[in-house]
Amino acid sequence: MELKTAYKEIHEKAYLELKLNKRKSWSSADDIEERIQFYKKAIEDNNTSKGSSVLVLGCGDGETSLALTGLGYLVNGVDISPTAIKWAKQKAINLNLGTEFNELNIVKEQFPKKTFDVIIDDHCLHCIIPGDRKGVFKKTHNSLSENGVFLMRTHCGNPPENLSIEISNTWAPKTRCQVYNGVAGRYFGSSEQIITEIKNVGLKIKHKRVFQFEDNWPMLEVIAGL
Ligand SMILES: C[S@@+](CC[C@H](N)C(=O)[O-])C[C@H]1O[C@@H](n2cnc3c(N)ncnc32)[C@H](O)[C@@H]1O
């Protein structure tokens, strides 16, 4: 059976709710800070100089993109949700930062027409379901500059043991997706499957690590390059 998804509808609804509930961001401040430290170290270890270009996939309301701009990189964040992009643009104005934010569906549309020194999967690829994933990895490969790095933080593997009944009922092990009312919203491939997807488009793995925050799905961290 072919999987159905609704990338824009799912996430637009979520951002409208976050705004309604006066939340500061999709992710918690601790989560964002921890992720930024990983991105920062990986970029520095790759000898990527300040002023280099960074593309953030699924930038949401912009927290990581804005932080990386503050560190001296030229950042372009893209996301499918118009509400998230509007929110991110407003944050950039408030902080007086020149981050570029664009509404873009990474499955259906081309990435910005240039190459990037760093491409970051900012918790976005676990939203992309199996039939659509190869195209996104291919575009990532084609948009990386020669010495560029692809940084990924993505959920993977099996559900945590203490998952609530409501969430357990959405887990479809056959497709490895969470399915809500017939619509697949998240994909949790095994870490080996995801590493193979990355290698299959010609990217070389420089680092990989699986870890787990309490009560959450395992997380795969990857650094890859051409
Ligand atoms: C789990 S949220 C993470 C948001 C943000 N990066 C953060 O960590 O707080 C996933 C993000 O991916 C975006 N997204 C999902 N499908 C997308 C698609 N097809 N094209 C572009 N963005 C997409 C969503 O709108 C959402 O902002």
Domain ranges (residues) in the chain? 7-225
- Strands 74-79, 53-57: pairing is parallel
Determine whether the shortest distance from the Cβ of 127 to ligand 1 is under 6 A. Answer: yes
Which helix (H) or strand (E) element contains residue 53? strand 53-57
7-225 maps to which CATH number? Answer: 3.40.50.150
Inter-residue contact 71 to 40 (CB < 8 Å): yes
Scored b (16 or more CB within 10 A) or e, 160-191 reads: eeebeeeeeebbeeebbbbbeeebbbbbbbeb
Q: Round to whole Å and give the CA distance between 99 and 92.
A: 6
Quick one: pLDDT at residue 165? 86
Determine whether the shortest distance from the Cβ of 60 to ligand 1 is under 6 A. Answer: yes
- Strands 100-103, 74-79: pairing is parallel
Cα-to-centroid distance, 108 and ligand 1 (Å)? 14
Q: Ligand 1 test: best mutation among 31, 65, 75, 79, most atoms within 8 Å of CB? A: 79
Q: Round to whole Å and give the CA distance between 67 and 36.
A: 7
| Distance linking the first and last C-alpha atoms of the chain | 35
Quick one: pLDDT at residue 3? 87
Give residue for tokens 């824009």.
Answer: 8
Threshold 0.95, pTM exceeds: yes
DSSP state of 190: -
Which helix (H) or strand (E) element contains residue 164? none
Q: Which of 114, 128, 121, 109 is nearest to 187 (CA)?
A: 128
Determine whether the shortest distance from the Cβ of 84 to ligand 1 is under 6 A. Answer: yes
- Helical ranges in the chain per DSSP H: 7-20, 29-45, 63-70, 82-95, 130-143, 165-168, 191-200
Determine whether the shortest distance from the Cβ of 11 to ligand 1 is under 6 A. Answer: yes
Write out residues in the chain with pLDDT < 70, as ranges. 1
Task: Fill in the amino acid letter for 22.
Answer: K
Quick one: pLDDT at residue 214? 83
Give residue for tokens 């990527």.
Answer: 48
Give residue for tokens 């918690």.
Answer: 28
Quick one: pLDDT at residue 21? 97
Determine whether the shortest distance from the Cβ of 80 to ligand 1 is under 6 A. Answer: yes
